[in-house]
Amino acid sequence: MILIYILLAIIAYILWRIYRQREDEKRDATTEKFQAEREEEKKELVAKYPHLIGKLEGNWLEVFARQVEMGAPLLKIMFLLHLSESTKIDFSEGSLKWDTLWDLTEELLEHLERFHEGSTIEHEIAVVTYWQIVAEAVGELVKENPEIEGSKLEVEPYTNISKIVSLFPKKANHPSKEIFFTSKKGAFPRESKGSAHIQEKLKALGL
């Protein structure tokens, strides 16, 4: 009888080993497929967005690249990120600076289109990533106090708007001076009238 129990135990162990081997093979195959798909996605990102690979925070490049594939207008997304937080901020120096940041953004988008390399989609992914981050940051300030002090918007991540132009090489027609975001007196953000060109694009999007 003991021999029968031992034999059954051996058989059970062999069957368990076979089962585990098959499960491990399935897992390995799934892992290899996932890795191959990820490598293919990376190659596609490099081909479509060569100026942005490894240069944006987190996985925002992948997030907004998927939005592009689904046909979502990034210009509309960034405007709504700005607008959604504008409605939460009480009238204050902070609210004025927040609106000025948007005017500067319009100016920046036109500047990139005219004087810097990269596709419009690349430019917009870089800028919408900035707006995603600053919208989250200003949302935290609103939780503390809807009447925001202007100085709260004179630091990172808000000042990081100035870093966007460095992502894209200058075209031959670039002016001698780069676009700037601080006034001659050192105030950030400097005053801006925005961009009629970008405003026309927003109107076309129903905004």
How many Å apart are CA 150 and CA 97, to the nearest integer?
7
Question: Over its length of 207 residues, how does the chain's per-residue pLDDT go in tens digits?
Answer: 676 767 666 776 777 777 777 777 677 666 666 565 666 677 788 889 999 999 998 899 999 999 999 999 999 999 999 999 999 999 999 999 999 999 999 999 999 999 999 999 999 999 999 999 999 999 999 999 999 999 999 999 999 999 999 999 999 999 999 999 999 999 999 999 999 999 999 999 999
Question: Does residue 175 fall inside a structural domain?
Answer: yes
What is the model's pLDDT at position 105?
A: 98
Answer whether residue 173 is part of any domain.
Answer: yes
Q: Which domain holds residue 87?
A: 60-204
- Residue 43 lies inside a defined structural domain of this protein: no
- pLDDT for 5 equals 66
- Look at residue 181 in the predicted model and tell me its pLDDT: 97
pLDDT value of residue 14 = 76
**Residue 156: inside a domain:** yes
pLDDT, position 198: 98
116 DSSP β-pair partners: 170
- The number of folded domains in the chain is 1
| pLDDT at residue 185, as a whole number | 93
Residue 108 and residue 164 in contact, taking contact as beta carbons nearer than 8 Å = yes
Judge whether 105 and 133 are in contact, CB under 8 Å: no
Q: Which segments of 117-169 does DSSP mark as H helices, in order?
A: 120-144
Q: State the number of CA atoms in the 13 A half-sphere of 125 facing the CB.
A: 28
114 is a domain residue? yes
In a domain, 101, yes or no: yes
Q: Indicate whether this model's pTM tops 0.85.
A: no
Local structure of 116: helix, strand or coil: strand
Quick check: is 105 in a domain? yes
pLDDT score of 13: 72
Residue 136 placed within a domain: yes
pLDDT number for residue 33: 61
Please tell me the predicted confidence (pLDDT) of residue 18.
76
